[in-house]
């Protein structure tokens, strides 16, 4: 089996890579721009292959496909945020987030999906966010994730007959680099709304991604929320 995880150098992506390494005998390809981190991670096991590629650049995607080749499981995890209030949001902040979080998963899926369709087998997982429902200060990020969810469901409708499943995992507030720089006051405010009264650890998100990709063979076109109950409010 062959797996590709985008953004595997840190955070949730790294935990997904580690989970597949532990639970399967797959060859696991992962991407990122942090060469030092990627090379350090590959030293864990010869089944790990790192590709130091900026996947926000359209022209890099054919290179990624030529290095990786056909995969059985595709996990589109890499993402960024550039938060600010709508009235202060610059075109370049909107563009950068849409490019990384929505266009890049579209480009990568297009590159890898033909092999899955030919083989009539495969599983694709996109990483969205509870912010897809709309969130103040995240107009760009929320739009990118809502678009990603809609794209995933549309794709699931189109390719289910070829036995390729498409699902989305929608994490809540998770303890990674993405959230580490938030002001403590904001973190405490968010925490008040989480019934479990804590952030997720990245491995808790990876656990759901893994089982959804590998084991839940009749789950298709779904958005699975993993947020400690945050969105019950
Ligand atoms: N953390 C949360 O609270 C949270 C909540 C909901 C959803 N999510 C979503 O979960 C996913 C993972 O988030 P995370 O918290 O694990 O983020 P993270 O710790 O910031 O890691 C992001 C990953 O994406 C990669 N990446 C970013 N820009 C890239 C680019 N241009 N080209 C290639 N790789 C790039 C990074 O690799 P390099 O650093 O090596 O470039 C890194 O491996 C994202 O889609 C995020 O939106 C996170």
The DSSP secondary structure of 137-205, one letter per residue, reads T-HHHHHHHHHHHHHHHHHHHHHGGGTEEEEEEEE-SB-SHHHHTS-HHHHHHHHTT-TT-SPBPHHHH
At 82, is the pLDDT very low, low, confident or very high (cuts 50, 70, 90)? very high
Atom 46 of ligand 1: nearest residue by CA position:
79
What is the distance between the alpha carbons of residues 103 and 108, in angstroms, rounded to a whole number?
9
Instruction: Assess whether the C-beta atom of 173 lies below 6 angstroms from ligand 1.
Output: yes
129 Cβ closer than 6 Å to some ligand 1 atom: yes
CA distance 69 to 77: 18
Active-site option among 65, 126, 141, 210: 141
Per-residue confidence (pLDDT) for residue 232, from 0 to 100: 95
**Ligand 1 contact, 105 CB (< 6 A):** no
Residue nearest to atom 23 of ligand 1 (CA): 7
Angular region, 18: left φ>0, alpha ψ -120 to 50, beta rest = alpha
How many angstroms separate the alpha carbon of residue 179 from the centre of ligand 1? 10
Domains of the chain, residue spans: 2-174+202-226
- Cβ count near 91 (within 10 Å): 7
Among candidates 20, 140, 133, which has minimal Cα distance to 80? Answer: 140
Q: Is the pLDDT of residue 185 over 90?
A: no
Q: How far is CA 1 from CA 71, 98, 123, 143, 161, in A?
A: 7, 31, 12, 34, 22
- CA of residue 14 to ligand 1 center, whole Å: 10
- Radius of gyration over every alpha carbon of the chain, rounded to an integer in angstroms: 17
Whether 56 and 99 have beta carbons less than 8 Å apart is answered as yes
CA of 44 to the centre of ligand 1 (A): 21
Average pLDDT over residues 107-114: 98
Architecture of domain 2-174+202-226: 3-Layer(aba) Sandwich (3.40)
Q: Which atom of ligand 1 is nearest to the CA of 177?
A: 19
Q: What is the mean pLDDT of residues 82-106?
A: 97
Helix (H, G, I), strand (E, B) or coil at 111: helix
Catalytic residue list contains 65? no
Q: List residues bridging with 170 in a β-sheet.
A: 225
Does the pTM of the predicted model rise above 0.95?
yes
Tokens of 160: 């289910």
- Give the tens place of pLDDT for each residue, 12-57: 999 999 999 999 999 999 999 999 999 999 999 999 999 999 999 9
- Cβ(80) to ligand 1 under 6 A? yes
Q: How much of the chain, in percent, has pLDDT values that exceed 90?
A: 95
pLDDT of residue 233 exceeding 90: no
First vs last C-alpha separation in the chain: 40
């Amino acid at each position: 089996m062959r797996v590709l995880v985008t953004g595997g150098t840190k955070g949730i992506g790294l935990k997904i890579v580690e989970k597949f390494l532990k639970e399967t005998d797959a060859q696991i390809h992962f991407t990122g721009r942090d060469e030092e981190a990627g090379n350090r991670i590959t030293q864990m096991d010869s089944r790990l292959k790192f590709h130091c590629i900026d996947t926000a650049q359209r022209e890099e995607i054919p290179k990624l496909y030529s290095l990786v080749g056909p995969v059985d499981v595709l996990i589109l995890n890499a993402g960024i945020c550039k938060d600010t209030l709508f009235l202060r949001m610059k075109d370049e902040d909107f563009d950068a987030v849409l490019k990384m979080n929505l266009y890049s998963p579209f480009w990568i899926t297009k590159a890898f999906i033909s092999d899955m369709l030919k083989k009539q087998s495969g599983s694709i997982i996109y990483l969205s966010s509870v912010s897809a429902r709309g969130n103040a200060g995240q107009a760009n990020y929320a739009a990118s994730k809502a678009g990603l969810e809609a794209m995933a469901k549309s794709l699931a409708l189109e390719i289910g007959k070829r036995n390729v499943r498409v699902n989305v995992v929608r994490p809540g507030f998770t303890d990674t680099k993405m959230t580490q720089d938030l002001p403590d006051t904001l973190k405490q405010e968010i925490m008040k709304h989480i019934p479990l009264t804590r952030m997720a650890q990245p491995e808790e998100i990876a656990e759901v991604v893994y089982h959804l990709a590998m084991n839940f063979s009749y789950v298709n076109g779904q958005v699975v929320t993993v947020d400690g109950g945050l969105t019950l409010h």
